[in-house]
Amino acid sequence: MENSEKFFYLLYFILNFVCYILVITSQFKSIIYLPLSFHIVQIISSGLSLFFLRKIRNKPGYIEKDDELDDTEIKDIKNNTNLEYSPIIYYNLMPNNGCEKCQIIKLPLRSHHCPKCNKCVKGFDHHCWILAGCVGENNRFMFILFLLFQNISIFYSAYGVIKLMNRQLDELLIYILTLIFSVNCLFEIIFFFVFIYHIYLLITNQTTYEIFNEDQCPYLSIFTLERKKILAQRGIVINDNIRFRPFDSGFIKNISLYFKIIFHSQSSIKWNEMYFENLRTNYINLNCGDRAILNLNK
């Protein structure tokens, strides 16, 4: 267990169970001042957040040597795609589009090497210091569930501190409780915005790595160029500043992709098929805040 992870678990128990810690270690003689609903929600939310945290640790979808695309898969993609219509295929099938460190010749689409884990990850999102590991294709949905229950737990922990502050306390203890409440609120704000951010990424089928390292993901810019070229052939001109989301197939399908992995109904997501399906579609998925959809057949 890394030092960062040890620090988080210590912080986790302090933030989530601060009320109980105060009751045990201070002049509070009992916990009757906290309503029953507090205990129920606090214990359930804290337990679930810890459950998901432990369940997703070191399970982002690391790629082994045997997981690389074989010649048969590459041949099938070539046979099922019009290369003249979509030159992006040439990039995706380049034999050197792999990882020298992991000695993988051809990585699946959206896979990237994590320098901290020193492994390649399917659907790589980011390396998380809380997990001391990566968030990827296999654990992304459960990572969001962890954030959800962690938000609920910290919120109720802050609520419990307020209930304790309402008692007749001496001035020093009030100051201590105020400091603890402020720290809880700070972390609640951080976890809340991280949760909202990852919800946005999930429903638009984007990753943190792709947003902040677009230059390291040529398939994003090439998709936009190819999509604009296809639309231009249909007489539709798109603003140069518009960026397309290659894997956005609507928020319901986007969520279901990751949801199915939890129940092992699919071992991995076929990003290549989705990529080319969206490239040839009659709909436009615009990466510009709200998701605008135009029916080109009208």
- 243 assigned to some structural domain: no
Q: Quote the pLDDT of residue 92.
A: 57
Label residue 105 by pLDDT band (50, 70, 90). Answer: confident
pLDDT tens readout for residues 107-118: 788 888 999 889
Total of domains in the chain: 1
Do residues 180 and 161 make contact, with C-beta atoms less than 8 angstroms apart?
yes
Q: List 121's β-bridge partners, or say none.
A: 62, 112
Is residue 246 in a domain?
Answer: no
Q: Are the CB atoms for 85 and 73 separated by under 8 Å?
A: no
The answer on pLDDT for 297 being more than 50 is: no
Could you tell me if residue 263 is inside a domain? no
Q: What domain range is 71 assigned to? A: 1-216
Q: Decide if pLDDT at 296 tops 50.
A: no
| 3-class secondary structure, 156 | helix
Q: Which of 49, 266, 247, 50 is nearest to 138 (CA)?
A: 266
Q: Which amino acid is at 201?
A: L
Determine, yes or no, domain membership for 117: yes
Question: Which is more confidently placed, 54 or 83?
Answer: 54
Statement: residue 80 has pLDDT above 60: no
Q: Which two tokens stand for residue 33?
A: 């001042």
Least confident span in 10-24, 52-66, 71-85, 177-191: 71-85
pLDDT at 36: 75
